[in-house]
Amino acid sequence: MSTVAFIGAGSFGTALSTIVAAKGHRINVFDIDKPHLDRMEAAMENTDYLPGAKLEGDYHFYTDNKEALKDADFVVFSLPAQIFRKAASAAASFIKKDAYMMNIAKGIEQKTLLRMSEVAEEVGLNMDKYVCISGPSHAEEVGLGVPTVVSVSSRCEESAHAVADLFTTNRFRIYLNEDMKGMELAGSIKNVMAVGSGIIDGLGFGDNTRAAMITRAITEMTRLGVKMGARPETFAGLSGVGDMIVTCTSMHSRNFRCGRLIGQGVDPEEARKQIGMVVEGMFTAESAHDLAEREGVEMPIAEAIYQVILGKVKVEDAMEDLMGRPRKSEI
């Protein structure tokens, strides 16, 4: 059996840990929040972020990186995108040279506009052992064993297969995708669009509006991705359309719930606080805006969401502006 270390004790990392724990592997959970870890260990359940998913198996809890990563064969970075650099830097020197690493964060680093794999390379992680994961996978459902399908990507096919083998069960299926850039961009931008989908719901609009918004949002993120060198078919796959659908339509989605509050009239910053966990789309909106400007790509939906988050445009006005754009060919 392998030792699998999870850096960060949030919802999705916890959900993934239940998969490998059920297969008999040792689970090391690291977090800087000792009271949170103490509650997890006492209840054998992540009552703060993933209530209902029992932690059954060989679990160990650490606030020391060195101890958590000692002898770890697999390392899963399970924390928000904007703190990945700090966490990866702190962990790098303790990770075994032959250990596989997987990052679950879906975001683009603010200011640097780097994807998570680019951040990983900057902090010195072994990129031949680095894997990203993406696809429609709410933690609340993964933790309960609901059938789920995702994709993984790595520079090294052997590493992708190793991670896929570790997590694959009859309830968790994994495809391989060579286009890591496309997967990372799709997984990040869809969070922004999910905030927009929530705003539509909060405004009281219907299925027609949401379907149109999701379809055009996929067009926008594909346009950006292709300009940046990603493959267009990735955006039609699990990381693109699949993740977009699940994040833009479900109350499990923090991004959707946050947008819904904004649509109902709650101040964007207050809406984010009310969610109680990190809302990646609220941060990635700035990065999407900056990337679109840098690449010269038109992304009117993403831009409208960003302006609403900044408080510069009212949601009703943003909708009017989008609906009133000059007529053009769809394709």
* Same domain as 171, residue 59: yes
pLDDT tens digits, one per residue of 181-202: 999 999 999 999 999 999 999 9
* Same domain as 205, residue 160: no
Q: What is the reported pLDDT for 34?
A: 98
- Which of 141, 176, 211 is at the close of a domain? 176
The one-letter amino acid at 288: A
**Is residue 129 annotated as a catalytic residue, yes or no?**
no
Q: What is the reported pLDDT for 59?
A: 98
pLDDT tens digits, one per residue of 82-140: 999 999 999 999 999 999 999 999 999 999 999 999 999 999 999 999 999 999 999 99
pLDDT tens digits, one per residue of 57-78: 999 999 999 999 999 999 999 9
- Neighbour tally for 51: CB within 10 Å: 12
* Same domain as 192, residue 171: no
| Domain that residue 11 falls in | 3-176
Give the closest residue to 96 by CA, choosing from 121, 125, 118, 123.
125
Tell me whether residue 246 is in a domain.
Answer: yes
Residue 147 · residue 137 · CB < 8 Å: no
Tell me whether residue 329 is in a domain.
Answer: no
- Which of 118, 145, 176 is at the close of a domain? 176
pLDDT tens digits, one per residue of 5-52: 999 999 999 999 999 999 999 999 999 999 999 999 999 999 999 999
Tell me whether residue 245 is in a domain.
Answer: yes
| CA distance readout (Å), 206 to 211, 212, 243 | 9, 10, 20
Tell me whether residue 181 is in a domain.
Answer: no
- CATH number, domain with residue 25: 3.40.50.720
Percent of the chain with pLDDT over 90: 98
d(CA 285, CA 8): 23
Tell me whether residue 331 is in a domain.
Answer: no
* Same domain as 219, residue 172: no
* Same domain as 7, residue 42: yes
> Tokens at residue 298, please?
């038109």
* Same domain as 12, residue 146: yes
| pLDDT tops 90 at residue 203 | yes
In terms of DSSP H, where are the helices of the chain?
11-22, 34-43, 65-69, 84-91, 116-122, 139-142, 157-167, 180-202, 207-227, 243-249, 254-263, 268-275, 280-295, 300-310, 315-323
Going by C-beta distance under 8 Å and a sequence separation of 6 or more, which residues neighbour residue 39?
47, 48
Per-residue pLDDT band for 330 (boundaries 50, 70, 90) equals confident
pLDDT tens digits, one per residue of 166-184: 999 999 999 999 999 999 9
Give the three-state DSSP class for 26: strand
Residue 79 sits at φ, ψ, to 5 deg, of -150, 170
Strand pairing category for 130-134 and 58-62: unpaired
Number of domains comprising the chain: 2
Give the three-state DSSP class for 155: coil
* Same domain as 124, residue 57: yes
Question: Burial, 6: exposed, middle or buried (Cβ in 10 Å; 0-12, 13-18, 19+)?
Answer: buried
- Which of 176, 196, 213 is at the close of a domain? 176
d(CA 8, CA 29): 7
Q: What is the reported pLDDT for 331?
A: 81
* Same domain as 280, residue 143: no
* Same domain as 166, residue 109: yes
pLDDT tens digits, one per residue of 217-250: 999 999 999 999 999 999 999 999 999 999 999 9
Which residue among 190, 227, 312, 328 is the active-site one?
190
* Same domain as 153, residue 11: yes
- CATH number, domain with residue 215: 1.10.1040.10
